[in-house]
Structure 1
Amino acid sequence: MSILSWNCHGLGTPWAFQFLKEIVLQKKPDFVFLCEILYKQLTVERLQSAIGFEGNFVVETQGHSGGVALLWRYKDEVALSSYNKNHIDVTVNSKDGEKFRLTGVYGEPDRRKRQEIWELIRALAVNNSLPWCLIGDMNNVVSQSDKQGGRPYPQTLIQGFQGVLEDCNLVDMDLVGYPFTWERGAGTADWIEVRLDRAIVSVNFMHMFAEAKLINLEVSTSDHCPILLELHKANVLVPMKRFRFENAWLREPMCQKIVEEVWSNNAGKSLYEKLDDCSDILSKWGQEITESFKNRIHLCKKVIKAMKGKRDSNSVERL
């Protein structure tokens, strides 16, 4: 079981919609919480259909900003408890037998209204005994180490947020991967990075999901990276060999020629045998022509991290 959270900064854009579809296909979350959807219920319903989920709840955009949505895979697993423009609170009764509370949170961008979110969390915590997880763009940090670049984060806001965690007996989960989830001015002298997206959980939630981990997915079409909360350790399975046709091959003239030759050279064989032979030859040819896409993606990520590391060292030198 897992929970995906993302400040998508506009769900109606084609690239954001497609990106989210691919993330859900790859990571297979059971719940998706979205902030700043900037569009109406119909767009979320389109997304729900596209990713094959059965349930959704939307607090629509007010004016030209905001909007939050929660989608879940199985319709009967979720019961709505409360909502407003900054949160959606539900009780989860999973097929695996776990019962817990899940709250998607979108913190106030306006620092003058940050107190309202803190009081909301305190109010939600009253008379709550279920294991509890709050996840989303909190728009707040718990220490100066959550920010890099620009001016120091206001200490009053850090102390205010820390006070909420202490009062409600909540724990800020460690983030696996790159330590920041939001950025502005990338590659410039004014580059700022902050960890705004997080999951905070109750102690009994940590006991229920002792192996839970929060992962920064690091790639995004928004200024925020998606975060994924995995509630169970994934089983390590040896994958079966399976042929997968890559659309990129269609741009290679040789691809069509290979298919034509296999079909003509195996005229006496069944359709199944032709497909089997064709997949073997295309797999070998595809590795030589396009290499492994996973390796190329991994290399790109290494380059991005190296660039960010170089930027960090330059910041240290300036200090």
Structure 2
Amino acid sequence: MSIMSWNARGMRNKGIVRTLKDAAFKFRPGIIFLSETKKKKCYLKKIKMKIKVDYSFYVDPIGIAGGLALWWLHEVSMVILNSGKNFIDTKVSVCGEEDWFLTFIYGPPYANEKQVFWESLASLRSNRSEKWCVIGDSNMVTRPEEKIGGAPFDASSAKWFYDFMDTFCLLELPLKGGTFTWSNQRSEDEAILEKLDRILISLEWSISFPKAIGILDATIASDHALIFLILKGMSKRFRKDFKFEAKWVLEDGCTDNVQDGWHSVNDSNRIWSFEKKLSQTRKKTKAMEKVEKW
């Protein structure tokens, strides 16, 4: 089973829904956590039905800021222990296995709120020997190598994060697929890249899930990448990513197929249009792969 976390930056366009559907098909997450939804639960329930998950819990935004959504399938036993505008704390059990704590976070973006946030997060657990996993957008750069561009790294801003990690002897699970989980989506000299989204685990949790891996999956639908926690390692169930074969350019009709796929979509929404263009072009080129195998 996998757990997905994504700062969707507002659930307002078709690209967001399409990305969720693609992620659900590719990684088959049993739990989906969305932060910065900027929408109330009455709206998010409609999207939940399209993704086909069973249960849900919501923290409504304050005005148009923030907002959290937590969705999960029936094979996951989940109890909501506590929640606030920046977190949802739960106890979970998957397929009847032993319970463990799972906390979803959306760290505050403002410096004057960070200390209170990390201290309140620490108050959720009574001791450091519990099986605990924390996943989500920390909204914090913790080392110089986690940032490219923009203002210089400020080590003092990470103090409360490290205090929290030390208190509970937590480890950070590396993310396969890239280093940076957030981009300001600008180019060249104006580009800023940061690692903000994280998976933190206790030693006891890592002993229970020794094959667990974290995966980063970039998307243009949000300025944040999706992150996945695969509890028991990769499985053959996951869909194989599409890769363009260089040898296809030698095939008759390759150029026509790419042009047909790219020009088959004309949508006013630039993000949605771009994703559809890629999808249609992929279908056209995959057709060449089938012909080649035949």
Fold shared per TM-score above 0.5: yes
Aligned to 2:120: 120
In 2, Cα distance between equivalents of 1:100 and 1:126: 14
In 1, Cα distance between equivalents of 2:166 and 2:288: 42
8 Å Cα contact 1:55/1:75 also seen in 2: no
Aligned to 1:186: 186
The 5-angstrom pairing of residues 177-256 of structure 1 reads 177-236=177-236
8 Å Cα contact 1:99/1:130 also seen in 2: no
Give CA deviations for 1:264-313 in whole Å, capped at 9, x if unaligned. xxxxxxxxxxxxxxxxxxxxxx99x9222899xxxxxxxxxxxxxxxxxx
- 1:159 Cα deviation from its structure 2 partner: 2.7
Aligned to 2:16: 16
SS of aligned partner of 2:24 = helix
SS of aligned partner of 2:46 = helix
- 1:218 Cα deviation from its structure 2 partner: 1.6
Q: Greater shift after overlay, 221-230 or 112-121?
A: 112-121
The 5-angstrom pairing of residues 48-127 of structure 1 reads 48-74=48-74, 77-127=77-127
- 1:31 Cα deviation from its structure 2 partner: 0.5
**Which letter does structure 2 place at the counterpart of 1:36?**
E
SS of aligned partner of 2:49 = helix
**Which letter does structure 2 place at the counterpart of 1:291?**
T
Q: Unaligned 5+ residue runs, structure 1?
A: 240-247, 253-285, 296-319
- Percentage identity across paired residues of the two chains: 29
In 2, Cα distance between equivalents of 1:124 and 1:69: 20
8 Å Cα contact 1:216/1:227 also seen in 2: yes
Aligned to 2:155: 155
**Which letter does structure 1 place at the counterpart of 2:140?**
N
SS of aligned partner of 1:125 = coil
In 1, Cα distance between equivalents of 2:51 and 2:93: 21
8 Å Cα contact 2:55/2:74 also seen in 1: yes
- 1:57 Cα deviation from its structure 2 partner: 0.4
- When residues 238 and 6 of structure 1 are mapped into structure 2, their CA distance, relative to the original with a 3 A threshold, is closer
In 1, Cα distance between equivalents of 2:129 and 2:165: 16
In 1, Cα distance between equivalents of 2:112 and 2:234: 41
In 2, Cα distance between equivalents of 1:204 and 1:114: 27
In 1, Cα distance between equivalents of 2:21 and 2:3: 15
RMSD value over aligned CA atoms? 2.7
- TM-score w.r.t. structure 2 length? 0.79
- TM-score w.r.t. structure 1 length? 0.73
SS of aligned partner of 2:204 = helix
- 1:43 Cα deviation from its structure 2 partner: 2.2
**Which letter does structure 1 place at the counterpart of 2:284?**
T
SS of aligned partner of 1:228 = strand
**Which letter does structure 2 place at the counterpart of 1:104?**
F
In 2, Cα distance between equivalents of 1:187 and 1:116: 35
Give CA deviations for 1:171-228 in whole Å, capped at 9, x if unaligned. 1111111100101152131211000001111111111111111111022301101101
Aligned to 1:34: 34
In 1, Cα distance between equivalents of 2:227 and 2:209: 17
Alignment partner of 2:285 out of 291, 296, 313: 291
8 Å Cα contact 2:128/2:167 also seen in 1: no
**Which letter does structure 1 place at the counterpart of 2:132?**
W
Q: Unaligned 5+ residue runs, structure 2?
A: 240-256, 262-279, 290-294
Aligned to 1:280: none
In 2, Cα distance between equivalents of 1:9 and 1:2: 22
- 1:160 Cα deviation from its structure 2 partner: 2.6
SS of aligned partner of 1:152 = coil
In 2, Cα distance between equivalents of 1:23 and 1:76: 18
In 1, Cα distance between equivalents of 2:226 and 2:7: 7
Moved over 4 A (4+): none
- 1:96 Cα deviation from its structure 2 partner: 4.7
- When residues 168 and 12 of structure 1 are mapped into structure 2, their CA distance, relative to the original with a 3 A threshold, is same
Aligned to 2:173: 173
Bigger RCO (CA 8 Å, 6+ sep): 2
Counterpart check, 1:47 vs 2:47: yes
**Which letter does structure 1 place at the counterpart of 2:58?**
V
- 1:64 Cα deviation from its structure 2 partner: 1.5
- Considering fraction of residues, name the structure with more helix: 1
Aligned to 2:2: 2
- When residues 177 and 75 of structure 1 are mapped into structure 2, their CA distance, relative to the original with a 3 A threshold, is closer
- When residues 66 and 115 of structure 1 are mapped into structure 2, their CA distance, relative to the original with a 3 A threshold, is same
In 1, Cα distance between equivalents of 2:34 and 2:238: 33
8 Å Cα contact 2:127/2:168 also seen in 1: no
